[in-house]
Amino acid sequence: MTTMEDIEMQLEDLNIENEENEELVFDEGVEEECNRFELCIVGRFMTEKNINHRAMRTKLADLWKRAMGINIKELKSGIFLFQFYHKDDMNWVLSSGPWTFDGALLVMNTVKMGEDLVNVLLNEVDFWIQIHELPVGYMTEMVGKQLGNFFGTFLQYDAKNNSSIWREFMRIRIRVDVRKPLKRKKKIVKKKKRDCG
């Protein structure tokens, strides 16, 4: 018959701390050969309201209509994982935004190798903007870059929009930090030419 003293001695011998501190060593070749999240986007909607997950998934899947399909999963409250099955599908979604659902802007970012999905930075959104009332001769890409970097971070100049002789506005794509207030205008002064006389 086991006595209380025997049980106490057995319990004293139960020490898993040494086992927990031992290193578990793996041979080479067990790591993933590629980033399995390379075709994933993490996103959140800029809203205080709860998002209807089912309606959002249906709406975005319908809007995006990707050839190879898409899987949408909630990682934690308000943070979503958008998994694509082809790089072209993912790139199209990234370059065609910004996207909204139920009036809320979707802030998205790609996942870097080794990055924790729930800690992906979700602070920037890419927008196409129009710049109106530019002085004659100022519809150039150089001016677009400077203005783009004033309003956010310049990404792309729409040369097709700016190709005719008469243009009402310049169109550029910029990246905007959603934590900062939006800039709406910038005064442009045309330097007067010096007389060579």
Helix residue spans in 97-185 (DSSP H): 141-151
pLDDT at position 19: 63
Whether 61 shows a pLDDT value over 90: the answer reads no
Domain that holds residue 152: 125-177
Residues 132 and 105 in one domain: no
Of 95, 102, 86, which is closest to residue 54 (Cα–Cα)?
Answer: 102
Q: Is residue 172 part of a domain?
A: yes
**Considering the chain, what is the average pLDDT of its residues?**
82
Residues 96 and 67 in one domain: yes
Tokens 């900062």 sit at which residue? 180
Are 147 and 175 in contact by the 8 Å Cβ rule? The answer is: no
Whether 30 shows a pLDDT value over 50: the answer reads no
pLDDT at position 193: 64
Q: Read off the pLDDT of each residue in 67-95 and give the average, rounded to a whole number.
A: 88
Residue 142: left if φ>0, alpha if ψ -120 to 50, beta else—which one? alpha
Residues 56 and 103 in one domain: yes
User: How far is Cα 88 from Cα 78, in angstroms, rounded to an integer?
Assistant: 26
